[in-house]
Structures are given as structure tokens and as C-alpha cells.
Structure 1
Amino acid sequence: MTRPAFTLSIAVAAAFACVSGATPAVAGPPPPCTFTLTSPQVVQVAGGSAVTATLEPDQCGPPATPATSVACLQMQGDAVKRCHPSDGTGRAQVFFEPFVAGATYVATGRGCGAWIGQPPAPDCQLLGPYSAAL
């Protein structure tokens, strides 16, 4: 009768040994900035209609600033993805032309913040995919 209890205690000890050897996850500081991405929408541009999406900084904790932002658009079923990087404000806007009525467009993006005086933080925020049948 003591044999099953002994075997069970060895199994439990082995399980704890495996767990205790694991490296605990360490939470780092929060990203310096958060970003928002708009869904694809039709806009009028010189010469006709286009689809656009915008990625821009939402909040940057002090002392932080937007570093890089990239907004991308793709027409579903099309291999071509169009991306555009941010301007000096951290706002990125991409246009997809020509607009094809009835097609579904997919917006994605990536926003990276930086602590002032530092390179962009490695924990960029990935946004999307947001799709819209236009």
C-alpha cells in the first residue's frame, strides 16, 4: 500500500522540479506610446477616388515621443500591399488607387514610440487587420 503513495510523491516532486526550473516572465515597462489605426475608407483625391487608412499616435507617456509609424493597405485577393511611413508628427497615411467599388480592403499598421533621447523602443504596437467592403 505504501508503494502507490511513494510513486505518486515522486511524480509530484518531478513535476515541481520541472516547474521550478522554468524562467518566470518578467514584465517590462509599458510601451512609450500607443497608436490608433483607422479602417479603410473611400476619399476623393485629385483625379478620382482612393481608399485610405491612417495610423497615428494616441498617447505618449512623458517623456516619450512617437518614433516611427507605418500604415498599410491591401485589396483582398491582391498580392500588392501598399505601405507609407509616418511624417514628423508620427501620423502615417496610405492611399490605395485606383479604388475598385465592391472590393474589400484591409488596413494594418505598426507604431513605435521612443523615450526621449533613446532609439525607438523594441515593443512596437501592431494594429489591425481592419477590413471593409467598399
Structure 2
Amino acid sequence: MVVGLTAAVVVSGIAGAGAAVAQPPVLPGPCNFTVSPPQVVQVGGVAKVTAMVTSAGCLAPWRPKYAVACLSVVGGPDQCVSSRDAAPAQVFFEPYEPGKVYESSGRGCGAVFDFTTDPNCLLVGPVTANL
């Protein structure tokens, strides 16, 4: 299955090589994750910025081991939160400052065994939004 997937990615990469904005193909890992763009939410009447890193599925026998979601005002320090297994990692950033550019990023890691000390991790983001 991996050979077929790799061949399909290579063929699609060659087909798009002539495009002016062609990007190198991104090979999926055994587990894939996504990061949401920063968005403003109300939590207990307080405006906060949030973002999530979620599992987008794994190839058997892999499964999500953990995820980390980070959020910051561009150029500022990150606030990060982690989750275990397939649970999404959701971070809340405060104080919300209207007009600032926020950046979400993170990583998701998968493993075959629970005791793995060296999981396979995928970096996601950054995604920015002017809020």
C-alpha cells in the first residue's frame, strides 16, 4: 500500500511540476493531524482566541499518541496545550487583543505501541489570522 501511495504522490508531483506555484508533494506520515486557524470565542463571558490540533487518521497499526496545540500573537511567546491519544488538543489564548495577528501551530504524534519513547511526529501550521 505504501509503494502504491508513494507512486501516486510522485506521479502527481511530476504532473504539477510545470505550474508556477508548484509545491513539493507532502508525503503523509503514518498518522496525520490538522491545525485550525485562530478564532475568537466567548468562554464564560470572556473573549479568548482558540485553536485546535486534531487527528486526521492513522494507517493501521498506528494510532494517535498525543497532540500539542500552540497559539500566539505573531512575534510573541506561545501558549501550548497537549492532549493524549486521539483527543484534540485545544489551546485558549488570553488576553484577546483586537486587531492583532494570531498564529496557531502544533504537532501530532503517532505510535504503534503505548510504550514508544520515539513516536513519529508531524508538525502542523503555522496558520495566521488577523483578529
TM-score between both structures, scaled by the size of structure 2? 0.72
Residues 62-95 of structure 1, C-alpha deviations (whole Å, 9 max, x = no match): 12210011000011232x2100001443310000
CA distance in structure 1 between the partners assigned to 2:99 and 2:87 by the alignment:
31
1:36 corresponds to: 34
Is 39-48 or 111-120 further displaced after alignment? 111-120
SS at match of 2:120: coil
In structure 2, stretches of 5+ residues that fail to align are: 1-27
Structure exhibiting the larger radius of gyration computed from Cα positions: 1
CA distance in structure 1 between the partners assigned to 2:85 and 2:31 by the alignment:
15
CA distance in structure 2 between the partners assigned to 1:133 and 1:114 by the alignment:
35
Question: Is this contact kept in 1: 2:70–2:80, CA < 8 A?
Answer: yes
Aligned residues between the structures: 104
- What is the letter of the counterpart of residue 126 of structure 1? L
Segments ≥4 residues shifted beyond 4 Å: none
Aligned Cα RMSD in Å? Answer: 1.8
Does 2:125 match 1:131? no
1:104 corresponds to: 101
2:58 corresponds to: 60
Among 68, 74, 77, the alignment partner of 1:76 is 74
Identity value in percent: 45
TM-score between both structures, scaled by the size of structure 1? 0.70
SS at match of 1:86: strand
In structure 1, stretches of 5+ residues that fail to align are: 1-29
